[in-house]
Chains A and B, each alone.
Chain A
Amino acid sequence: SQQGEEDPQALSIQEGENATMNCSYKTSINNLQWYRQNSGRGLVHLILIRSNEREKHSGRLRVTLDTSKKSSSLLITASRAADTASYFCATGPYSGGGADGLTFGKGTHLIIQP
């Protein structure tokens, strides 16, 4: 089964507005990560939240995690044109071993209108 499904699939907002993306997952996790992918590029790690954390901030990013609902949200405040990209949540195996890679959701394509 697929782990990590983002919602919405696409989001278009005006520059300066806040953007919120949601992610749901199915199994127990050690941590949850968010990545950004600019068009034609590789993924870049944005932020990681551990399973015992509820909220985490990094610059204009705010991530929340609700392990009881198996869901996470990524908030980007004061959006900029450069934030236009696809955003993916990713989870690793519960054991934290990680050697078998991350499971990614389908991503949210965010477009910031100038």
Chain B
Amino acid sequence: DTAVSQTPKYLVTQMGNDKSIKCEQNLGHDTMYWYKQDSKKFLKIMFSYNNKELIINETVPNRFSPKSPDKAHLNLHINSLELGDSAVYFCASSQLGTRPLNIQYFGAGTRLSVL
């Protein structure tokens, strides 16, 4: 009954590989996000996806691409992984609707290690 679930929890891979992280929310929310948390615990928004509208943080390399098969899922695909991509990636969701307070619900995170 986890509200926002991401898989895998840990991902260890070689430089140059392509990988995906999956995210699902069962809260019925209309907006989902991906955040990156670096080694100093700084969290930065990467993408938000709301009713087919994708908003991209301009600092995110185009090797990163979100894909949303439906409102409950927002997966993250990463091509040609680099050492600097090592971080913890968090998926989150919120219900913006007509009252955009934007309280977000987070998954447990995926720790990506690129060797």
Are B41 and A86 in contact, CB atoms less than 8 angstroms apart?
yes
Are A98 and B55 in contact, CB atoms less than 8 angstroms apart?
no
| Among A30, A43, A99, A107, residue most surrounded by chain B Cβ atoms (within 10 Å) | A99
In the assembled complex, the CB of A28 is this many whole angstroms from the nearest CB of chain B, namely: 15
B contacts with A: majority SS: strand
- Which residues from chain B contact A33 at a C-beta distance below 8 Å? 102-103
- Which residues from chain B contact A30 at a C-beta distance below 8 Å? 100
Instruction: Determine which of A45, A103, A107 lies in contact with B45 in the assembled complex, contact meaning CB atoms within 8 Å.
Output: A103
Interface residues on B, range: 20 to 34
Given A33-B103, A45-B104, A106-B42, A99 contacting B53 (CB threshold 8 A):
yes
Name the residue on B nearest A97 (C-beta). B100
Total interface residues in chain A, CB < 8 Å: 26
Are B90 and A100 in contact, CB atoms less than 8 angstroms apart?
no
Name the residue on A nearest B44 (C-beta). A104
Given contacts A33-B103, A100-B55, 16 further A-B contacts (CB under 8 A): A43-B104, A45-B105, A86-B41, A96-B100, A96-B102, A98-B94, A98-B100, A99-B48, A99-B53, A99-B96, A100-B48, A101-B33, A101-B102, A102-B45, A102-B102, A106-B41
Q: Can you spell out 28 A-B residue pairs with CB atoms less than 8 angstroms apart?
A: A33-B103, A41-B108, A41-B109, A42-B4, A42-B90, A42-B106, A42-B108, A43-B106, A44-B106, A45-B105, A48-B103, A88-B43, A92-B100, A96-B102, A98-B96, A98-B100, A99-B50, A99-B53, A99-B96, A99-B100, A100-B48, A101-B33, A101-B35, A101-B45, A101-B55, A102-B104, A104-B35, A107-B42
